[in-house]
Each structure stands twice: as structure tokens, then as C-alpha cells.
Structure 1
């Protein structure tokens, strides 16, 4: 990982506190789209679940899309299907999100380029929980 990537990760994890977990689900608690947001909540972050099939998650109301979240969001953590990443990035740009985080195994260079061009920070193919633990 480059120094610039490390600096971006550190900046996001230390300065941004409100995370929209797009694709959050509590159906299978062994999957990253549950346990990473749950871990982040336990570390003091405000985690907003985004999933059209849920009414609530992690003790908070869930929203059907990022565009439906009624409060400011710092980071969009995207567990969306690969084909949906581009659309969610467009919602993040429109919503004023500061950073996009794509978890392990998820890379979308075109969406990342659009996000960066709009001034967002971007992390791809990294686990937010693992990177947070590296800060400690």
C-alpha cells in the first residue's frame, strides 16, 4: 500500500464519524456486511444501515437507498452488488458524502474516478475494520 493510500485511510478513520453501510444486512452475521458495520458502531462511529429490505439495523432506522438518508453522511461503505456500485457512487456524490469505501474484493475504477473527480476520497479493496484495527 502506498503512503498516499495509508494517509487517506488514516484521514477517513480519524476524521469522519458517520458511515452509511450500503448493503448492510443482519441476515447472516458471519458476513462482512453485518460484522464490519457492527464493529464500527462499537468503536463509536454512527452507522446508518442502507438496505431496501430492512426497516432497521444496529438499533437505527434503515433506509432503502443512500439518497433516502435524511442526515449528512461522511463515508459510504459500499456492500452493494458490483453492478450497482456506479449508481451508489452517483448518489454519494449528490448527497455530499466525503468518502467512498469499497470492501475487500471490490474494485470499480470507473466509479472511483468519478468520485475522485467530484472531490471524494476513495478506498478500494480494503476492509474498514481491519484498517481501523491497524490504527490502534
Structure 2
């Protein structure tokens, strides 16, 4: 059966229930999409946790971690800004970290990653921008 994203109402519920977002591939470069989207989500009240093995120090005022296993707090959503071929391993990390949602950003799609995450109990959203979905579904500042 081909993958289908959750209905909008379920996405709204996921966003309301999971306000801690680990962003895999978050860049410290303000001109990168991952930075702009994460900054906007942070301004809307989400707790952003940067995950990027190449980055050092803080991003958006938050400590950056090299991988999901290093994050010392519960993760609601794992938001992925990496190429599709890297997502199966990220899905495995998300399952091991106890995340609730695997969210692959716009342009990122991988059926294997979705199946790994679903088998691990996560809800999966693929090829959608979390910032756009939040703006559509949550028109107010938190």
C-alpha cells in the first residue's frame, strides 16, 4: 500500500501535542531553509533542538547535538532536512530516541524510512513543510 500522509486534523493534533522538535540537518547559516523554518517554528513557541554532526556550539540559541541519541530530553517530532537516501538511518535513530513523529520536510520522501518509523510506533509525515502546516493549522502565536 503506498504511503499517505495523515489527514490535516491529525497533523494539527500532532503539532499541538508535540512541541519539542529535534531538527536533523539544522544549519547555522541563516540563509538555509532549515534555519529559517526552525527559527519561525521557535518564534511560534516550539522548542527547537538542533541536530547536526557538522555544526558546533549553539544554533538559534540552543545547544546543537551530533545525533538524536545525544539529545538528553524527550523528543516529540524529528524534523528532517536531509536528503531522502539518509532518512532510513534517521528513522532508526528516531525510533530508538522514543520520538512520536518522523517528519520529512518538503522534497524529502522515503518509503523505507516511513516503514521503519511506523513499525517503531511513530506517525510519519513526508514531503511537507512543518512551518507551512503549522501556519495553516495554527494561525495564532502560541
What TM-score comes out, normalization by structure 1 length? 0.92
**Structure 2 residues without counterparts, runs of 5 or longer:** none
- Superposed CA RMSD in Å reads 1.5
Q: Map 1:1-136 onto structure 2 (within 5 A).
A: 4-27=6-29, 29-54=30-55, 55-135=57-137, 136=139
Q: How many residues align?
A: 134
Per-residue deviation, 1:3: 9.0
Q: Is the 8 A contact 1:5 1:123 kept in 2?
A: no
**Structure 1 residues without counterparts, runs of 5 or longer:** none
**How many Å separate the matches in 1 of 2:13 and 2:71?**
23
What TM-score comes out, normalization by structure 2 length? 0.88
**Any runs of at least 4 consecutive aligned residues in structure 1 with deviations exceeding 4 A, and if so which?**
none
**How many Å separate the matches in 1 of 2:6 and 2:19?**
21
